[in-house]
């Protein structure tokens, strides 16, 4: 009798898990709470795109386990903005549990752990497609100059879009790169949600960028840290511009559903 009761409870739990993560017609853009890092899950039906994978703390895997159907062990696209561990460190564990079909970044990882699935370097204006979902690459080259943070500046910046809904993913780029993007006027007035650069660091999120793209909401992916992220200056400026600020360290996973 006890064995039967346990079996019924287990089956019920599986049923609840299936119901929560079952595929439907919605697109979900989930800014996963990965601690001090970036990791975004984009999902429609049985298809998934990851934009960064968080640090090597298994939190990105927890996010995938919560939102992906338990039987789905394939991720169609992974885009790494740059190879700092807080953006790419979770990839090794993800590859243990999921088959990654395509992997892109601005340049190949110095560790070269992903050579078997690496699909190529991204170029500006390139578009990565997953069904009706597009990721349009805006910047990969950064800005050269004395005192410029070249490594973060070379983050892949892109616009994730589904229909009229647009998310601007900024990686860890600096204000110099933001100003270059604004000057080229490639994303002017096009953005619903801004993924704030570099966890809200004061080195980015310029007033010029906010005036150009006029986001309705901004997401800061951040955890406990010793860097002072997010900067009070950045959060105050966003609020003064009327932008709703959402933070993974306060909300946990930040989820957008598009019908």
Structure confidence by residue, pLDDT tens digits, 92-113 = 999 999 999 999 999 888 776 6
What's the pLDDT score for residue 145? Answer: 58
Mean pLDDT value across the chain: 89
Contact 134, 157 (CB under 8 A): no
The pLDDT-based confidence of 22 (bands split at 50, 70, 90) is low
Residue 191 pLDDT > 50? yes
Residue 143 pLDDT > 80? no
Q: How far apart are CA 118 and CA 210, in angstroms?
A: 34
Residue 19 pLDDT > 70? no
Residue 228 pLDDT > 70? yes
What's the pLDDT score for residue 152? Answer: 85
The pLDDT-based confidence of 7 (bands split at 50, 70, 90) is very low
Write out pLDDT tens, residues 48-102: 999 999 999 999 999 999 999 999 999 999 999 999 999 999 999 999 999 999 9
What's the pLDDT score for residue 120? Answer: 81
What's the pLDDT score for residue 141? Answer: 85
Contact 169, 193 (CB under 8 A): no
HSE-up of residue 98 (Cα within 13 Å, Cβ side): 30
Domains and CATH numbers, the chain: 24-258 (3.60.15.10)
What's the pLDDT score for residue 86? Answer: 97
Q: How far apart are CA 40 and CA 60, in angstroms?
A: 9
Write out pLDDT tens, residues 154-164: 999 999 999 99
What's the whole-number mean pLDDT along residues 200-219?
Answer: 95
The secondary element (H helix, E strand) that includes residue 193 is: strand 193-195
Three-class secondary structure assignment of 239-257: HHCCCEEEEHHHHCCEEEE
Residue 6 pLDDT > 50? no
In the numeric block, the tokens 């966003």 are attached to 238
Nearest-5° Cα angle at 105, 99 to 106: 170
């Amino acid at each position: 009798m006890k064995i039967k009761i346990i079996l019924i409870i287990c089956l019920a739990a599986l049923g609840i898990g299936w119901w929560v993560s079952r595929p439907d017609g919605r697109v979900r853009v989930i800014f996963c709470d990965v601690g001090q890092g970036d990791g975004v899950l984009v999902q429609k039906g049985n298809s998934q795109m990851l934009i960064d994978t968080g640090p090597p703390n298994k939190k990105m895997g927890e996010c995938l386990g919560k939102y992906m159907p338990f039987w789905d062990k394939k991720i169609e696209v992974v885009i790494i903005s740059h190879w700092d561990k807080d953006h790419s460190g979770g990839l090794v564990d993800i590859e243990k549990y999921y088959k990654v079909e395509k992997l892109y970044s601005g340049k190949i990882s110095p560790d070269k752990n992903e050579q078997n699935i690496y699909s190529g370097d991204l170029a500006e204006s390139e578009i990565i497609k997953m069904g009706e979902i597009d990721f349009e690459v805006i910047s990969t080259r950064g800005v050269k100059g004395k005192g410029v943070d070249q490594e973060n500046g070379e983050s892949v910046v892109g616009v994730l879009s589904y229909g009229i809904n647009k998310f601007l993913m900024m990686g860890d780029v600096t204000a110099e790169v933001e100003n270059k993007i604004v000057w080229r006027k490639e994303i002017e007035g096009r953005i619903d949600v801004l993924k704030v650069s570099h966890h809200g660091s004061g080195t980015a999120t310029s007033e010029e960028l906010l005036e150009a793209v006029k986001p309705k909401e901004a997401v800061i992916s951040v955890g406990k840290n010793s860097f002072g992220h997010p900067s009070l200056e950045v959060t105050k400026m966003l609020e003064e511009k009327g932008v709703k600020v959402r933070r993974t360290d306060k909300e946990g996973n930040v989820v957008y559903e598009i019908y």
